[in-house]
Amino acid sequence: MCGIVGAVAQRNIVPVLIEGLRRLEYRGYDSCGVAVLGDDGPRRARSVARVADLEGRVHECHLEGITGIAHTRWATHGAPVTDNAHPIFSQDALALVHNCIIENYELLRGKGYTFVSQTDTKVIAHLIHSVYRGDLFAAVREAIAQFQGAYAIAVLHKDQPHTVVGARQGSPLVVGLGQGEN
């Protein structure tokens, strides 16, 4: 089972995301990644190694931001390679992490996008992006109405820099609230 971490704060959120991934390591995974929103949209680092390797990549890329998502992945669709590691992007505007399986992803795949990864997650990201009209919450709600299967997702968009939208159906997703950060 994959693990998802998302956070919004008034400080650099990357250490919180990395620590969240460390706390999920006991569950096992084959790849991991983190994405944060910068001034020019989402930026990410991904790895098919351990979280410690990802942390090195994050520092090399100078990833910093106050809004971010992170993920540990067990491959269900697509091989455990960097292109399939999460977070998955759509049009360099939207970043998404996903747990479980969208059973009808092949049907949803026929929306006219070119796919770099082999995952059902890429289909989800592109579907949400295709219905996005300035309101990420509304776009996620519209997209998930088309999903069949159990899932949990966390999504961020460059046009809504202080927002992470989460949704779930039959898969756990825990939300926390803190002083000055969520």
CATH code where residue 148 lies: 3.60.20.10
What are the pLDDT digits (tens) for 90-100? 989 999 998 87
- C-alpha 176, offset from chain centre: 17
Report if residue 116 sits inside a domain.
yes
Number of domains in the chain: 1
Note the pLDDT of residue 108: 64
CB-CB contact of 5 with 176 (8 Å): no
Q: What pLDDT is recorded for position 174?
A: 83
* Residue 177 covered by a domain: no
153 within a domain of the structure (yes/no): yes
In a domain, 155, yes or no: yes
pLDDT value, residue 160: 95
Per-residue model confidence as pLDDT tens digits over 37-89: 988 899 999 999 999 999 999 999 999 999 999 999 887 777 788 888 889 99
Q: Which amino acid is at 8?
A: V
Domain containing 163: what range? 3-169
Our CA dihedral for 107, 137, 96, 74, rounded to 10 degrees, sits at -70
Give domain status of residue 174, yes or no: no
Q: Strand ranges (DSSP E) for 12-150?
A: 31-38, 41-47, 67-73, 88-90, 94-100
Q: What is the pTM of this model?
A: 0.90
**DSSP structure class, residue 180:** T
- Is 179 part of a structural domain of the chain? no
**Residue range 16-25: average pLDDT?**
95
Residue 44 lies in a domain: yes
pLDDT band at 118 (very low <50, low <70, confident <90, very high): low
32 assigned to some structural domain: yes
